[in-house]
Chains A and B, each alone.
Chain A
Amino acid sequence: MATAYSSAKFVQPLSLNSTINGRSRDNSLFDPLKTGTSFLGSTRKLRVNSVHSNQGNVRRRLPVVAVSEVVKEKKVKSISNLLITKQEGLELYEDMILGRSFEDMCAQMYYRGKMFGFVHLYNGQEAVSTGFIKLLKKEDSVVSTYRDHVHALSKGVPARAVMSELFGKATGCCRGQGGSMHMFSKEHNLLGGFAFIGEGIPVATGAAFTSKYRREVLKEADCDHVTLAFFGDGTCNNGQFFECLNMAALWKLPIVFVVENNLWAIGMSHLRATSDPQIYKKGPAFGMPGFHVDGMDVLKVREVAKEAIERARRGEGPTLVECETYRFRGHSLADPDELRDPAEKARYAARDPITALKKYLIESSLASEAELKAIEKKIDEVVEDAVEFADESAPPPRSQLLENVFADPKGFGIGPDGRYRCEDPKFTEGTAHV
């Protein structure tokens, strides 16, 4: 138990049972940032999660530290508790490399005119996706936002299917009908891919509700599926976020709310948009624990994720996890990204999660340079293959136009001739006007 707390700031709800009384008792234990000054932001000093204090609850404030020191801290931890096995380490590394290479390839393809519209890349945030999703079973669900390529890949959707979808081909995971912002996969329980921020959170809450329903109403005793909802800092000011925190805590739904706080909502700094920028503190207000974790460190994320997911699986209810992370690229490929301070970008670039994991694996002798290089090469091939596949795939034919508007095509109604409109051959050709 101690490990989870040592790697993250952790706030419990003030009292899980009653509502009013615990305040004074618990406040001192769980409120490290009482003064609430610099949390995070481009113009303030960076705060590093550094707490191993043996004195219990005293938190030290450190200035910006170099990567080597961070790694040293991790190294100290690794001796005392081996967080991952070699196999796990390689799996995590491969997943993060896949995410990074894929996104880099997306950027290339976009500028070459192979994909269009709004494309939002995940570079820099891989630790969150890998850290969380690699702990899930296939039956667990993931709900994402428009920055969903890497969530899809981590959940198991083949790179080919995602790339084809981005190219708008019929072989895409959504038959080319969804695009970059709408990645869905029934097989892998990826419930989207949503263009409006916040609108995926209720859907995730619904999936968690189904899990609880299956267990309690349909009596499927072994149903312990967990849902993860990923969203950003901007979304945390949206009503749907708060409404769902309330409902999830109220009904103890098996869901984990994962905030990917990359400090920027397009050009709006989190600090300029939020009255209290410490998002993890909003969990206890609704009766669930709130974690804050270094989202640039996949091992720390994984530790916290394990806690939260297990908690949900046991039926103890939701958790709010705030991951401090950063996107190395602009909001989307159309974003000139002029507002962010280059110094801030440099600081975070130095904390690149992939570089950090690589160092960790090598320095703790879990893997060799050669093995990691082999993984990188393998992923290069996977991504190249995905591009080739997408290139060669055919775009959707006209006949696909009307196919998925309704699950039951009787919904198009009855035509003047008395037959259902969907029986009209123009429907299968896609040339009918609806």
Chain B
Amino acid sequence: MAAIFLGVGAATALSPSNCFDSKKFQLSTRRSLSGRKPWFLVVRSDGSVNLGSNQRSRRTQQLITNAVATKADSAASTSASKQGHELLLFEALREGLEEEMDRDPHVCVMGEDVGHYGGSYKVTKGLADKYGDLRVLDTPIAENSFTGMGIGAAMTGLRPIVEGMNMGFLLLAFNQISNNCGMLHYTSGGQFTIPIVIRGPGGVGRQLGAEHSQRLESYFQSIPGIQMVACSTPYNAKGLMKAAIRSENPVILFEHVLLYNLKERIPDEEYICNLEEAEMVRPGEHVTILTYSRMRYHVMQAAKTLVNKGYDPEVIDIRSLKPFDLYTIGNSIKKTHRVLIVEECMRTGGIGASLTAAITENFHDYLDAPIVCLSSQDVPTPYAGTLEEWTVVQPAQIVTAVEQLCQ
């Protein structure tokens, strides 16, 4: 396996322990970001060493805008960009954020503990050292007001990224998100744009309790004028972050607490992911499984079992929670005629409920069976591990559902 080290100066001595020592990794990251331009060292398992440089990658202007990865494509892309670097999802978010902050000085970050602390999930680690305390602003604990402040800043020319330490905290900012973020562009007759990005971790974690395990996508989805996207891999995390920052619309980027440490190799070249497009994870013939965020991994786990049992599921990560990519979804339904939606949202009024309605409206004639939607139960997420497991959709349930659907 290969490991990446950000370092300044001579290469550090490498040992297996270095690879897994995350603390040390953080330290070296911090040093390099505050000092010279970062470069990185790729050590491959065969002992060969390559040198990479962010500077080089930034000069490469090749933008991959349509990043819908298919099975074949992902194989091609990894072979095409062997120089790609491996990182964790939170680092991918940071990389995207940093690239955009370098590119445009109007991009700034505000939120609780984003500056000196580096972000409660390390997404903004090192950025305050590099960009200063005003560009990476540590706010007091006042979600409604600092979200509103971000909106006012966006109206007057900045491009802020507001971080909710946990998406659940943004319930306090609902006033600003609904009235000002979503609607102000319209009520001002198009005079003011709000190019704000509101992001943060949500979803059910590991026994975090009911209030820290909320899925706010279902509450926000009715707000007109906003876009919502959910990232699920380091690749689309960085791509969506960059796209959201560049968008003139207010975008809410949902991250998931349990996905921050996913590792993936991503290209060195600059790329963005399309905000409105869904991602084809695994093409198939028998059933369309629509999912997003963490449930993608439960679905892929179930897919392994299903493949062994002889099924061929097509898995699509919808990514864009509002608006839905009806083209990708529609094409899939026209092929398989069966739909299973797997989501972490509550059963009532969740993304799955809306998606079911949208599919019924648009593709009813193509369905051979009723749409099955697996969502979390309408239960406040319990603390106890066993109970928590039963509120969320598990791979076994997905397998059963597909089997029933395909009878």
Contact = CB atoms under 8 A, between A and B. Distances in A.
Do they bind each other?
yes
B115 to A, nearest CB: 12
A48 interface: no
| Category for how many chain A residues contact B | 35 or more
Contacts of B53: none
Interface in B144-160: 144-158
A412 B134 CA distance: 34
Interface stretch (B71-79, B172-180, B384-392): B172-180
A416 B330 contact: yes
Contacts of B119: none
B132 interface: yes
Given A247-B145, A408-B249, A414-B325, 18 more contacts: A193-B188, A196-B175, A202-B148, A202-B151, A203-B148, A206-B150, A207-B152, A210-B156, A213-B135, A214-B157, A250-B140, A404-B185, A404-B189, A408-B248, A413-B276, A413-B320, A413-B324, A415-B326
Contacts, number: 194
Interface string A394-434: 00000000011111101111111110110000000000000
A158 interface: no
Interface stretch (A18-26, A112-120, A176-184): A176-184
B184 interface: yes
Interface stretch (B14-22, B190-198, B302-310): B190-198
B82 to A, nearest CB: 32
* Top 10 closest pairs, chain A to chain B, by CB: A206-B152, A202-B148, A413-B323, A175-B189, A174-B189, A184-B188, A243-B145, A203-B152, A243-B142, A404-B190
A357 interface: no
Interface string A198-226: 01011111111111111011100000000
A143 B225 CA distance: 22
| Category for how many chain B residues contact A | 35 or more
A413 B188 contact: no
A173 B327 contact: no
A199 B176 contact: yes
Nearest to B142: A243
A239 interface: yes
Contact of B191 (A174, A212, A213, A408): A174
A141 interface: yes
Given A202-B144, A205-B148, A414-B277, A178 B189 contact: yes
A15 interface: no
Contact of B179 (A173, A199, A414): A199
A216 B192 CA distance: 24
A240 interface: yes
Contacts of A186: 188, 191-192
Contact of A205 (B149, B322, B327): B149
Contact of B323 (A172, A199, A407, A411): A411
A279 B134 CA distance: 30
A407 B249 contact: yes
A208 B135 CA distance: 14
Contact of A213 (B139, B153, B249, B277): B153
A192 interface: yes
A404 B225 CA distance: 9
Interface in B320-360: 320, 322-328, 330
A244 interface: yes
Given A191-B155, A206-B153, A213 B134 contact: yes
A416 B188 contact: no
**Most central of A143, A182, A203, A247 by chain B CB within 10 Å:** A203
Contacts of A177: 186-189
B106 interface: yes
**Most central of A173, A193, A217 by chain B CB within 10 Å:** A217
**Most central of B108, B189, B192, B325 by chain A CB within 10 Å:** B189
A199 B158 contact: no
